[in-house]
């Protein structure tokens, strides 16, 4: 029996704590689209993997703290705090995320957050 879209997204968010990039990318379809809204979208598992590797370089641990989750059919929305632990500091970023699910895979993921807030925490 497969997960509901909400259960799949919960497992995806929890997987970030394990730090296994291959396991995270395995949640996506081959032609999935990932759009970190302040930057251009990327399509396909390899592009998603490269994008995630780019923004997690130098990060020791990542945690997606899901505060609220709601679904309408195959669309799941999350209100989260994404926590990035680096050797120098911990960054906590409020994020709204939208996931589109087909079967047991994510076909689209859009995250909305304030890039200026992230960059100021990163450099501050």
**CATH 2.60.120.1130 applies to domain 5-123:** no
How far is Cα 71 from Cα 124, in angstroms, rounded to an integer? Answer: 36
pTM given for the model: 0.92
The pLDDT value given to residue 122: 66
pLDDT digits (tens, 9 = 90+) for 39-63: 899 999 999 999 999 988 889 999 9
Tokens 């598992």 correspond to what residue?
A: 45
User: Is residue 33 pLDDT above 60, yes or no?
Assistant: yes
Q: Where are the domains of the chain?
A: 5-123
Q: What is the pLDDT of residue 1?
A: 55
How far lies 89's CA from each of 74, 101, 121, 122, in Å? 36, 34, 9, 8
What is the per-residue pLDDT across 1-27, written as a single tens digit (0 to 9) for each?
Answer: 578 999 999 999 999 999 999 999 999
Bridge partners (DSSP) listed for residue 64 = 82
Q: Identify the three-state secondary structure at position 85.
A: strand
In percent, the amount of the chain with pLDDT more than 90 equals 81
Cα 6 to Cα 2: distance, rounded to the nearest angstrom: 11
């Amino acid at each position: 029996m497969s997960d509901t879209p909400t259960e799949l997204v919960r497992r995806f968010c929890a997987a970030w704590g394990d730090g296994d990039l291959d396991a995270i990318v395995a949640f996506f379809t081959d032609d999935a689209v990932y759009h970190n809204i302040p930057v251009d979208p990327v399509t396909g598992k390899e592009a998603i993997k490269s994008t995630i590797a780019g923004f997690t370089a130098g990060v020791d641990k990542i945690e997606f703290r899901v505060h609220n989750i709601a679904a309408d059919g195959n669309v799941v929305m999350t209100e989260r705090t994404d926590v990035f632990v680096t050797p120098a500091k911990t960054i906590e970023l409020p994020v709204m995320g939208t996931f589109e699910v087909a079967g047991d895979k994510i076909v689209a993921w859009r995250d909305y957050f304030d890039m200026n807030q992230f960059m100021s925490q990163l450099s501050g």
